[in-house]
């Protein structure tokens, strides 16, 4: 396996790094000024978007980007280091039109949208003119198991009638959010009672009568400006051609959306962990206690060393997942995609926790990015499925492999009997 980014990826990384240094970092103070006032910082983001698009630093995450679609086409392995660089400033991915949940929705539309749906939703998303959200989780059912979703998507004459309640819908409060991809249970389809084939996805314009954002739910006491929203859909009617893909194929489509998105999330996390490690080391070198530099204490050195090693291990696993997706398709990387989702979310809280400790009480304040990044790491342990679901995926794959080689290790076992004296 060769994880060396291609010359094309390296060539894009140079202007990306320059863009981050020269334009994104100097905009941080402005971004926070808007955000602290509760205003989505469009005034900061929109001019940066135009610059990024001009430089070809645009839609870099989508290997299936066609020649007539805007942006730079990279495969997953080539995109991974760029996602790491963007991750250091969490809001910056939007500047390059590479942010979740739009990236996942764009992938889904690229695969399954009809020509009319492409024109109405995919093209403006690719141009960065609108944003979108993905509405799956529901307050009334354990949404770790999407076969339980209760939102109804029923045929109504020549259209669809949608009824249900969704929550934690990221991006729904973004001022440019125009469409929700809503997954729910529909009566028809070829799946019959198969729990994996009775859900469908419909495209619901955010201004459809009956769709109401009830609240933007704070996560870890923080209210994100783009929103993690609770949404009610009451007798929401959309035309028949707003069904995405086939009726009953919603579950399979939602799964298809997840693999690459996990590489993106994981690499952004790794970028944030690298930043935390750098901050931790800088602080350890300059702060003194008990006549020693904080970095001279053995436990702090252990934290630094463990962080370095764990970040490097995690990165290698993510790159393997990306490499597998590129070479063998998303399905072949299914278990790796679960593994990287799990380990990078846990890594993020671990590394942030160590860095906060080195900073002393300051580490808990908004004066450093650490506390916010710790909270986000904690949220990542639910987002796209809780840790336990991913552990289960890894364990099941391991047990399935063991089943195929039962007895192969028999010779390693013996019944110890003492040699008679
Ligand atoms: C910041 C944030 C953003 C989000 N954005 C979105 C979004 O944009 N769209 C969207 O649809 N959803 C979104 N979610 C919701 C997220 O996908 C769900 O929270 C997640 O899938 C878990 O569902 P749940 O909360 O209903 O937990 P439940 O299903 O109720 O699970 C509760 C707990 O049960 C245990 N458990 C569940 N399954 C197993 C198992 N197999 N083995 C062992 N234990 C298990 C776990 O401990 C789990 O935490 C977001 C969540 C957060 C925190």
SS (H, E, C) 185-199: ECCCCCCCCCCCCCE
pLDDT score recorded for residue 189: 60
Question: In this predicted model, what pLDDT tens digit does every residue of 272-324 receive, in sequence order?
Answer: 999 999 999 999 999 999 999 999 999 999 999 999 999 999 999 999 999 99
pLDDT at 382 over 70: yes
CA distance 243 to 159: 9
d(CA 132, CA 308): 36
Q: SS3 for 212?
A: strand
- Residue 283 belongs to what H/E stretch? helix 250-286
Give the per-residue pLDDT at 176. Answer: 98
Quote the ligand 1 centre to 384 CA distance (angstroms).
7
Any ligand 1 atom below 6 A from CB of 227: no
Residue 194 in this model has a pLDDT that exceeds 90: no
Which H helix or E strand runs over 161?
strand 159-170
**Distance from C-alpha of 18 to C-alpha of 152, rounded to nearest angstrom:** 48
- Is the shortest distance between the CB of 297 and ligand 1 below 6 Å? no
Residue with the two structure tokens 């990542």: 380
Is 206 a residue whose pLDDT tops 90? yes
Q: How far is the CA of 142 from the centre of ligand 1 (A)?
A: 7
Q: Which residues contact 387 (CB under 8 A, 6 or more apart)?
A: 342, 345, 346, 381
Residue of minimum CA distance from atom 53 in ligand 1: 379
Q: Please give the sequence-ordered ranges of beta strands (E in DSSP) within 171-311, or none if there are none.
A: 177-185, 199-205, 211-216, 228-239, 243-244, 288-289, 292-293
Of ligand 1's atoms, which has the minimum distance to the CA of residue 170? 8
Gap from CA of 61 to ligand 1 centroid (Å):
25
Residue identified by tokens 């290698």 is 316
Q: Which atom of ligand 1 is nearest to the CA of 389?
A: 41
Q: Is the shortest distance between the CB of 394 and ligand 1 below 6 Å?
A: no
- Segment 218-264, tens digit of pLDDT: 999 999 999 999 999 999 999 999 999 999 999 889 887 778 999 99
Predicted confidence at residue 364, as pLDDT, reads: 98
73: left (phi over 0), alpha (psi -120 to 50) or beta: beta
Predicted confidence band of residue 192 (pLDDT cuts 50, 70, 90): low
Averaged pLDDT of the chain: 96
Which two tokens mark 421? 């004296």
Q: Give the SS3 label for residue 206.
A: coil
Paired sense of beta strands 152-156 and 199-205, if any: unpaired
User: Does residue 187 surpass a pLDDT of 80?
Assistant: no
pLDDT of residue 190: 60
Q: Is the CB of 137 under 6 A from ligand 1?
A: yes
**What was the pLDDT predicted at 188?**
65
Q: Which residue has the higher pLDDT, 415 or 120?
A: 120
This prediction's pTM: 0.96
Q: Is 387 in the pocket of ligand 1 (CB under 6 A)?
A: no
The CA 382 to ligand 1 mean position distance, Å, reads 5
Ligand 1 and 140: CB distance under 6 A: no
Pocket lining: 277 vs ligand 1, CB cutoff 6 Å: no
Q: Name which residue sits closest to atom 42 of ligand 1, judged by CA.
A: 388
DSSP run (H or E) holding 118: none
Distances (CA, A) of 263 to 62, 84, 104, 303: 12, 10, 11, 26
> Where does residue 52 rank: exposed (0-12), middle (13-18), buried (19+ CB within 10 A)?
buried
Dist. CA 383 → ligand 1 center (Å): 6
Q: What would the mean pLDDT of 117-121 be, rounded to a whole number?
A: 98
Q: Whose CA is nearest to atom 45 of ligand 1?
A: 388
**Nearest ligand 1 atom, CA 137:** 11
CB of 170 shorter than 6 A to ligand 1: yes
168 lines ligand 1 (CB under 6 A): yes
* Beta strand pairing call for 177-185 and 131-135: parallel
Mean pLDDT of the region 341-353: 98
Q: Token digits for 287?
A: 């702060």
Average pLDDT, stretch 104-121?
97
Residue nearest (by alpha carbon) to ligand 1 atom 49? 386
Binned at pLDDT 50, 70 and 90, residue 44 comes out as very high
How high is the pLDDT of residue 96?
A: 98
Determine the 3-state secondary structure of 129 from DSSP. coil
In sequence order, what are the residues at sequence separation of 6 or more whose Cβ sits closer than 8 angstroms to the Cβ of residue 62? 71, 73, 103, 106, 107, 110
């Amino acid at each position: 396996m060769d994880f060396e980014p291609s010359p094309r990826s390296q060539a894009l990384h140079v202007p990306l790094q320059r863009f981050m240094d020269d334009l994104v970092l100097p905009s941080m103070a402005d971004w926070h000024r808007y955000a602290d006032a509760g205003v989505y910082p469009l005034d900061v983001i929109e001019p940066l978007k135009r610059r990024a698009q001009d430089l070809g630093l645009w839609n870099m995450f989508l290997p299936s980007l066609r020649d007539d679609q805007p942006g730079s086409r990279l495969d997953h392995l080539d995109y991974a280091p760029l996602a790491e660089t963007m991750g250091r400033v969490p809001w910056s991915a939007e500047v390059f039109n590479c942010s979740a949940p739009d990236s996942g929705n764009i992938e889904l539309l690229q695969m399954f949208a009809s020509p009319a749906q492409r024109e109405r939703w995919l093209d403006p998303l690719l141009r960065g003119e609108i944003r979108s959200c993905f509405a799956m989780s529901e307050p009334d059912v354990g949404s770790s198991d999407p076969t339980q979703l209760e939102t109804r998507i029923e045929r109504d004459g020549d259209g669809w009638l949608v009824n249900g309640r969704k929550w934690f819908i990221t991006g729904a409060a973004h001022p440019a959010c125009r469409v929700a991809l809503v997954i729910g249970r529909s009566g028809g389809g070829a799946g019959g009672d198969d729990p994996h084939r009775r859900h469908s996805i419909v495209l619901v314009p955010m201004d459809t009568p009956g769709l109401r954002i009830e609240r933007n739910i704070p996560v870890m006491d923080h209210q994100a400006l783009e929103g993690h929203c609770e949404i009610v859909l009451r007798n929401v009617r959309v035309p028949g051609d707003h069904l995405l893909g086939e009726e009953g194929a919603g579950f399979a489509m939602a799964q298809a959306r997840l693999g690459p998105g996990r590489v993106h999330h994981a690499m952004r996390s790794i970028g944030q962990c690298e930043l935390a490690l750098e901050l931790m080391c800088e602080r350890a070198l300059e702060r003194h206690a008990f006549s020693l530099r904080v970095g001279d204490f053995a436990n702090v050195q252990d934290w630094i060393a463990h962080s370095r090693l764990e970040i490097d291990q995690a990165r290698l696993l993510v790159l393997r997942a990306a490499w597998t997706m590129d070479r063998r398709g998303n399905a072949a990387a299914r278990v790796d995609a679960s593994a990287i989702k799990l380990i990078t979310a846990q890594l993020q809280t671990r590394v942030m926790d160590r860095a906060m400790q080195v900073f002393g009480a300051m580490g808990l304040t908004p004066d450093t990015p650490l506390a916010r990044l710790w909270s986000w790491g904690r949220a990542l342990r639910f987002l796209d499925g809780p840790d336990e679901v991913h552990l289960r995926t890894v364990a099941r794959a391991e047990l399935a492999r063991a089943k195929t080689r039962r007895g192969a290790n028999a010779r390693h076992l013996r019944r110890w009997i003492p040699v008679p004296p």
